[in-house]
Amino acid sequence: MKFSTSVARSALGLQALFAGLVVAQASGKFDVLTYNVAGLPAVINGNDEPGDKKTNARLIGAAMAKERFDIVHMQEDFNYHAYIYSTDTHPVRTPTSGGVPFGDGLNTLSNYNYTKFTRTTWKRCSLNSGDCLTPKGFSFMVIPTIGFELHLYNLHSDAGDSDNDVASRSSDVDQVLAAINAQSQGVPVIVAGDTNDRYTNAGVSITKFAQAGFKDPWVDLIKNGVYPTKGATADPCPNPAPNNECEIVDKVLYRSGDSVTLTATSFNYVPQDFLQSNGSVLSDHNPVLVNFDWVKK
Ligand SMILES: *[C@@H]1O[C@H](CO)[C@@H](O)[C@H](O)[C@H]1NC(C)=O
Ligand SMILES: *[C@@H]1O[C@H](CO)[C@@H](O)[C@H](O)[C@H]1NC(C)=O
């Protein structure tokens, strides 16, 4: 009796030691995908996407299940949400906030649990491009179990080219940076979503992320660290994108924390993962995949 108890105790001790080793893991890898899934009702916006939106949404979910991306940020996940979730198999998924006009279209699929999930509506919206039809904004979550505490922001900024749109987008960036400043000081942060902005735009405001210490893996890994020139003619970016060179509005931005260094190790547009069987696209946006390494300082 005594003997077996002490064996049990020492087995527990080993387990605790092992758990301690897991918690003390010093480095690791994960990937992040961002994808605007074009889930507006077909009657409002066909998103230049051939085929039936319900069928396409099921195919999007099936591709998410097949590729098993660690963290996926979706935008415009509105009226075909249930079809995506019917075929996706990620163990952790945010509940929908509703279709148009109730939801923000933002959802996250994850291989890790999250806490502290919030949705925030933009303070400002510009009436054209349908931005005020739905409560667009950003979502926030903490992933505590990836090996360190990671803060994630998913956003869908104001669309369009009018002065009012440019001002609204700038206000959106200010709002999300204020939230990061308030709740994510010193913590590793990834912002991924549809910024509706490009570095070549005359009224570009996503440059404020770089000023706040964020890196853009597309700039660092594809453009050799050189940001495209504000006001320059944009390189047209077809869908599916033939390579990683052209710029799109869908971005993954990140910064390290006080005790963890994040490094993007690869950047790719992955439209080939999200095609219909005849080669047509499933959304009017390209999906963006970034691989990360992390290491404790
Ligand atoms: C692929 O199939 C869809 C749905 O039937 C159709 O709308 C689209 O035109 C097809 N694309 C091509 C390249 O044939
Ligand atoms: C998330 O947490 C629940 C409850 O603790 C647990 O059962 C589940 O396995 C966790 N899932 C993942 C993917 O870690």
Q: pLDDT digit string (tens) for 63-98?
A: 999 999 999 999 999 999 999 999 999 999 999 999
- 155, pLDDT greater than 70: yes
Q: What is the best residue among 54, 274, 280 to mutate for testing ligand 1's pocket, by most ligand atoms within 8 Å of CB?
A: 280
Q: Which atom of ligand 2 is nearest to the CA of 112?
A: 13
> CA-CA distance, 56 to 108, in Å (whole number)?
18
pLDDT of residue 43: 80
Q: Which ligand is closest to the CA of 70, given by its number?
A: 2
Length of the chain: 297
pLDDT of residue 19: 55
Residue nearest to atom 2 of ligand 2 (CA): 113
- 50, pLDDT greater than 70: yes
Compute the distance from residue 51 Cα to the ligand 1 centre, in Å: 6
Q: Tell me the per-residue pLDDT of 7-46, one tens digit each, with 9 for 90 and over.
A: 444 444 445 555 555 556 899 999 999 999 999 988 877 7
Q: Which residue has the higher pLDDT, 91 or 47?
A: 91
> CA-CA distance, 44 to 278, in Å (whole number)?
25
- Give pTM, 2 decimals: 0.91
Cis preceding-peptide flag for 271 (omega within 30 of 0):
no
Structure tokens belonging to residue 170: 């700038």
